[in-house]
Structure 1
Amino acid sequence: MALINPPAWMQAGSYPARTDRLVIASLLGYPGFLVDEATPMRIRQGVKPSYLNQQLKVRAAPTPNMTVIVSGGYAFIDNHDAGGQGTYVCANDGDVILNVQPAGGAGQFRKDCVIASVYDAETAGSASEWRLEVIQGTYAASAGAAVRPSLPPNAQILADLAIAPSQTSVAAANITDIRQFSVAAGGILPVPSASAPNRPHPGQAMYLTDLDVFRYGRLDGSTNTITPDQNIPWITPSVGTGYTTGGTTAGSPGNRNGPIRYRKVFRDGTPYMEWDGGATRVAGAQTANILAGTLPGPYIPYAVRSVSVARNATAITSVANSNSVVHTVKVDFDTAGAVTLIAATAGDVETTWFSLAGVSYPLA
């Protein structure tokens, strides 16, 4: 049992480095992940957050070659060799160039890792230093089959590198930033949603950089989203071939429902999509994406959302007065990001205009 910050009269001429590490851990605070709950003296290790999160960022050389550059910054890394050993502060005061091993031959793909790692002879091995290094992955028959290599126990991953057969340089497209960020308990943590801690400190706020939302920790270990101002601007996408987006004046496409547009809002912490507007469709343009492209990731539902929307009146065979009724047609909002009109090719169910006004569904 270590005595942290003992009174001056108890100070000796020297004391174990572990004491300093435990002081650092006590200032950084909360573990952050459920797996660490059984070891409460751990912290949520990671890179110190900063404006635009440039600390220890891995980037390609100005003229890409088989090296990468790691920018300056701080990392906080726990000792996982033994329990209760505390946390290391690793400082890099400028750009560091790291060599990437040559690529393999035909059919040889691999995934390398750029890491910050600590080696401490007090708890394991003979080295006592911290390093920025590239760990080479094993070869695989395809890029999708390549897996991350085994890493030292006291390591913080900074980036993955995708290395293809006979590759002669590492460009920005080959680098995937997978840093996680550490923060003192209670501070706001900027982090992508995929690497957000599952047990943040109660009341700790996180800014999810890819979703542009705030989330906070609750007393039971769960999280909830801080509902933002709902005055969220609409996004007006381009429509696909065969469709003309709506207008608002007499004779406009889409039965004057206005242009197709969408936005994401929050209701009791749950993200929802809202749609508005309408479009006119060229006869025969069936089951194609209504939009010119797919929706961005944050606007795609986790499961297909099928809804019925209003369409033009049309006569239905053998149904009296059916041409005076506005009918419906199905639209699928799918997990690939397409918005698909589901209709037949011709006949009674032909669709000339439709409306998305009022369509709403949860994204998660």
Structure 2
Amino acid sequence: MAVINPPAWQQAPSYPARNDRLALSGLLGYPGNSADEASPMRVRSGVKPSYQQYQLKVRAAGTPNMTVIVSGGFVVVDQRDTGGQGVYVCANDGDVTLNVAAAGGAGQFRKDCVVASVYDAEYVGSLSEWKLEVIQGPYAASAGATVRGTLPPNCVPLADLAIGPSQTSVAAGNITDVRVYAVASGGILPVASSATPARPHPGQVFYQANTDTFMYGTAAGALAALVPKATAWAPIVLSGAWAATGLAGDGPPSARITHDGALQLSGLMTGVAVNPGANASVGTIPAALIPSMTYWVRGLATTSVAQNYARIAVNPTTGAIVLTNGSVAVTSGGWVQLDGVAGRAY
């Protein structure tokens, strides 16, 4: 209710709380769902990032039982009862213990969800509060078939809880962190790969902590990988009779990823006889460099000056290297020069 002619000592008249919510919304993140395009004053809800992402983290009790503990922290909850009415900024100043409903009997599995939720009587119902709560999911015949229950419209999911038949405690292995983090538009968002938001801000960078990779949002609302930086040269583990020549000036067979994400091989090695069109197992690419396709790498030669090309095929699962000879037979002791940038590895 507005104050008419407030006294001089009063800094400002009273005003609707929505004014503050809208002001805060203007400072926060980009809308993260396709449905938000029709409500451009919405923002992305989420937990405030922190050094070790401990804010509102859900964990098991010290001695696991049918409770979970939610740590302190801040959370931004978008108002979605009507939409476009700003955000709620909620603070939890310490650990909160939440009870988890008793498990079902044989053959009954469910997925409960820990949420930070806001209820606002200005729009719906009679409650005006925010709270941490566990929303019980419906029972299913298997763990893989479980789904969340109906979540409050104004909430941020914090963790999913896997509850099996006759379960008597919630351990760390039953808890899946599903927090999304709220940041200013365009900032780097630390998040698990499984919880990376849909429709990111164009150019928004995500650090996927569980895979130690960076992704970014495209203009089409999709995710794409940032170009990896060049890696150091790493030795190829040779197999069978294949070995480095050991001659002065001949580098050992090695591999790396270039600054633009290409697989590069280098080095000189000797090996077994390989007839034209035949294959030979050479060795293994370091696991961190395993590409996802077959490459051509120059070149193959006998002990004479004759040269041709060979195909180096790298297994995208194991990293095993298979050399396919070209048209010139290689005698035992012939050499193979690895010297090429072989297309994009990722």
Give the TM-score of the pair, scaled to structure 1: 0.69
Q: Is the 8 A contact 1:309 1:354 kept in 2?
A: no
| Deviation at residue 45 of structure 1 after TM alignment | 1.1
In structure 2, the partner of 1:175 is 175
Take 1:165 and 1:351, find their aligned partners in 2: how far apart are those partners?
A: 64
In structure 1, the partner of 2:294 is 306
CA gap 1:342/1:204 in 2 versus in 1, 3 angstroms: closer
CA gap 1:261/1:288 in 2 versus in 1, 3 angstroms: closer
| Deviation at residue 85 of structure 1 after TM alignment | 2.3
Equivalent residues in 2 for 1:72-151, closer than 5 Å: 72-151=72-151
In structure 2, the partner of 1:258 is 252
In structure 1, the partner of 2:56 is 56
In structure 1, the partner of 2:231 is 233
Take 1:16 and 1:133, find their aligned partners in 2: how far apart are those partners?
A: 27
Take 2:172 and 2:235, find their aligned partners in 1: how far apart are those partners?
A: 29
Take 1:162 and 1:237, find their aligned partners in 2: how far apart are those partners?
A: 43
Take 1:239 and 1:261, find their aligned partners in 2: how far apart are those partners?
A: 10
Q: Does 1:274 align with 2:263?
A: yes
Task: Give the counterpart letter for 1:306 in structure 2.
Answer: T
Per the alignment, in what secondary structure is the counterpart of residue 173 of structure 2?
Answer: helix
Moved more, 37-46 or 133-142: 133-142
| Deviation at residue 309 of structure 1 after TM alignment | 4.7
Deviation readout 1:108-167 (Å, 9 max, x if unpaired): 333222211111222112222112122222333333332233311111111222334444
In structure 2, the partner of 1:35 is 35
Larger Rg: 2
Q: Does 1:198 align with 2:180?
A: no
In structure 1, the partner of 2:310 is 328
Take 1:273 and 1:105, find their aligned partners in 2: how far apart are those partners?
A: 54
The percentage of counterpart residues that share the same residue type is 50
Q: Is the 8 A contact 2:285 2:314 kept in 1?
A: no
Give the TM-score of the pair, scaled to structure 2: 0.72
CA gap 1:215/1:104 in 2 versus in 1, 3 angstroms: same
In structure 1, the partner of 2:246 is 249
Residue segments in structure 2 that go unaligned for 5+ positions in a row: 274-278
CA RMSD of aligned residues (A): 4.7
Per the alignment, in what secondary structure is the counterpart of residue 28 of structure 1?
Answer: coil
CA gap 1:221/1:107 in 2 versus in 1, 3 angstroms: closer
Q: Is the 8 A contact 1:312 1:351 kept in 2?
A: no
Residue segments in structure 1 that go unaligned for 5+ positions in a row: 315-320
Per the alignment, in what secondary structure is the counterpart of residue 145 of structure 2?
Answer: coil
CA gap 1:349/1:147 in 2 versus in 1, 3 angstroms: farther
In structure 2, the partner of 1:362 is 344
| Deviation at residue 286 of structure 1 after TM alignment | 8.3
CA gap 1:225/1:342 in 2 versus in 1, 3 angstroms: closer
Deviation readout 1:250-295 (Å, 9 max, x if unpaired): 49xxxx6625444474x3xxxx242435789999x98899468x65
Aligned pair count? 329
| Deviation at residue 207 of structure 1 after TM alignment | 4.3
Per the alignment, in what secondary structure is the counterpart of residue 19 of structure 2?
Answer: helix
Take 1:61 and 1:356, find their aligned partners in 2: how far apart are those partners?
A: 56
Q: Does 1:15 align with 2:3?
A: no
Q: Does 1:339 align with 2:337?
A: no
Q: Is the 8 A contact 2:18 2:86 kept in 1?
A: yes
Take 1:169 and 1:20, find their aligned partners in 2: how far apart are those partners?
A: 42
CA gap 1:8/1:23 in 2 versus in 1, 3 angstroms: farther
| Deviation at residue 33 of structure 1 after TM alignment | 3.6
